[in-house]
Chain A
Amino acid sequence: MSKFGFTILKDQQLDYDNLSRDLALHIQKTEPSISSCMSCGSCAGSCSASRFTQFSFRKLVINIQRGNDKQIVNEIQKCMLCGKCMLVCPRGVNTRNVIYQLRKVLNEKKHHEV
């Protein structure tokens, strides 16, 4: 018998034993200001992209720091590079350059894989 009328739930816990820090370290090298982020949300609060999509620059930073690479690829396409977030960020994060640098490495990665 295989059908019992229920399924075994998948573990939803984030597994931080296997953090991949590669991308975070790379971005920290090319745009060091990313380390200054304090997750205040000013960027996402003023972002036009956040209004209509699930995009949040604040979450993006955390995803980078925690190595959730898979989330990132789709996320960065949503940014319009308008620079509003740069204007409001109280920690002086060069948000636009973080996005550029991400697009650059992720594009390169894509090319390698092809």
Chain B
Amino acid sequence: MLKRHVAIIGGGISGLEAARVLSKSGHEITIFDAGEKLGGHVAQWDLLFPNMRKSSEILTALLNQLPKSIHILSKTTIKNIERFNGYYVIHSDRVENVLADAVLFAGGFDTFDAQRKEEYGYGIYDNVITSIELENKIKDHRFITAQGTKPKRVAMIHCVGSRDEKVCNNYCSRVCCVTAVKQAIEIKKTSPETEVFCFYMDLRMFGRHFEELYREAQEKYGIQFIRGRLSEASEAQDKTIIVKAEDTLLGKPLKMNVDLMVLMVGMELSKALVPLVEKMQLEVGDDRFIMPLDEQLYPNQTKKEGVFVAGTCTGPKNIPETLNDARSAAVSIMSYFDQLSNKN
């Protein structure tokens, strides 16, 4: 078998897993990542849904399986990708260009910029934070308000930046419902006296053990679920946040003062990936994630020969789905190489 070279854009879990499978089959790999450390978003999380496993375990396992031969170019910005003589030439801010037989887009997602939901007051009211910030607060054992007090009451706001025409994101980000449930449980574990309310429209507990986690949140932790989407938030004089919504199951408008309001931000295609997607003229969906050649049959191929996609750059996925998708992308790339060899 001919040894081929694959350039992987993105060193998140999708890039890492694809790199492992491909290099095991003897191919040469270069991983480009804009950030300093590998692991993408998973490196930012603490405990994972649905089983509260440490995210570092997953990352260590993925990184340990990578052979030393892989080239890793972190803190690297890709400037251009060109087709040349059946190869792809990747120009970056490094001195040398990289020549590859195939390119795998594994650039993942960005979390939604909560400032765009103006009425929620993120960036304006002191005690409005995102799920990412909550994750860090819990990880660092600093579960406190902006004034340094222990929150007595917390509202988790689902669907921030998802399922919302006003911010042009009509899709569901899939992971935030279960993340809210997970984080609500973590709050109760850290601070059992704190009351937690989840404001949801639909609870999308689609994965294995998700529904069980939801049930645990109700039964074991007394977390309350209110079916109503946040209409607006304002800040009271004592810096608490006043939440307004309709309790749709009771059919009455409600208001509630909370010490902390947590916005469950959704996913959007990674902004760093957008210029490359445009340069390569890859197709995107109306959700602005990359469209594969065929959503059912060829989920990892694109219209461009030799260009593949894996992970959350084709839409929201959780970790097991991302890893499966990465393996599937590796298989697609290998069969593409087989085809190339057969042609020659």
A and B touch in their complex, CB below 8 angstroms: yes
Query: A34 CB to closest chain B CB, in angstroms?
Result: 14
Measured CB to CB, the nearest residue on chain A to B249 is A41
A51 at the interface (CB under 8 A from B): yes
1/0 per residue A37-55: CB within 8 Å of B?
0111111111100110010
Find A39's partner among B232, B244, B248, B253 (CB 8 Å cutoff): B248
Query: Which one of A18-26, A69-77, A85-93 is at the interface?
Result: A85-93
| With A40-B229, A88-B231, A90-B164 as contacts: A45 and B251 at CB distance below 8 Å | no
| With A50-B246, A58-B248 as contacts: A42 and B163 at CB distance below 8 Å | no
Complex Cα spacing A58 to B247, Å: 11
Query: A74 CB to closest chain B CB, in angstroms?
Result: 15
Contacts of A45 in B (CB 8 A): 228-232, 244-246, 253-254
Contacts of A41 in B (CB 8 A): 227-229, 231, 245-248
Query: A62 CB to closest chain B CB, in angstroms?
Result: 10
Listed residue (A42, A44, A58) with the most chain B CB atoms within 10 angstroms of its CB: A42
A56 at the interface (CB under 8 A from B): yes
A59 at the interface (CB under 8 A from B): yes
**Contact call B165/A91, Cβ cutoff below 8 A:** yes
**Contact call B165/A90, Cβ cutoff below 8 A:** yes
Complex Cα spacing A101 to B297, Å: 45
Complex Cα spacing A99 to B87, Å: 60
B201 at the interface (CB under 8 A from A): yes
Measured CB to CB, the nearest residue on chain B to A93 is B165
| With A39-B248, A47-B253, A56-B251 as contacts: A88 and B201 at CB distance below 8 Å | no
**Contact call B253/A51, Cβ cutoff below 8 A:** yes
Complex Cα spacing A56 to B246, Å: 9
| With A45-B254, A51-B253 as contacts: A58 and B246 at CB distance below 8 Å | yes
Q: Which B residues between 216 and 232 are near A, CB-CB below 8 angstroms?
A: 227-232
Complex Cα spacing A50 to B251, Å: 10
Contacts of B159 in A (CB 8 A): 90
B166 at the interface (CB under 8 A from A): yes
Complex Cα spacing A47 to B75, Å: 49
Complex Cα spacing A89 to B231, Å: 9
Q: Which A residues between 76 and 110 are near B, CB-CB below 8 angstroms?
A: 87-92
1/0 per residue B231-267: CB within 8 Å of A?
1100000000000111110011110000000000000
Contacts of B227 in A (CB 8 A): 41
**Contact call B165/A46, Cβ cutoff below 8 A:** no
Measured CB to CB, the nearest residue on chain B to A90 is B164
**Contact call A90/B163, Cβ cutoff below 8 A:** yes
10 A-B interface contacts by CB (under 8 A): A38-B163, A46-B232, A50-B252, A56-B252, A59-B251, A87-B119, A88-B231, A88-B232, A90-B159, A90-B163
Binding site for B on A (CB under 8 A): 38-47, 50-51, 54, 56, 58-59, 87-92
Binding site for A on B (CB under 8 A): 119, 159, 163-166, 201, 227-232, 244-248, 251-254
The 10 closest A-B pairs by CB, nearest first: A41-B246, A45-B231, A46-B231, A40-B229, A44-B246, A41-B248, A45-B246, A45-B245, A90-B164, A92-B165
5 additional A-B residue pairs with CB within 8 Å, beyond A42-B230, A45-B232: A56-B253, A88-B119, A89-B166, A90-B159, A92-B166
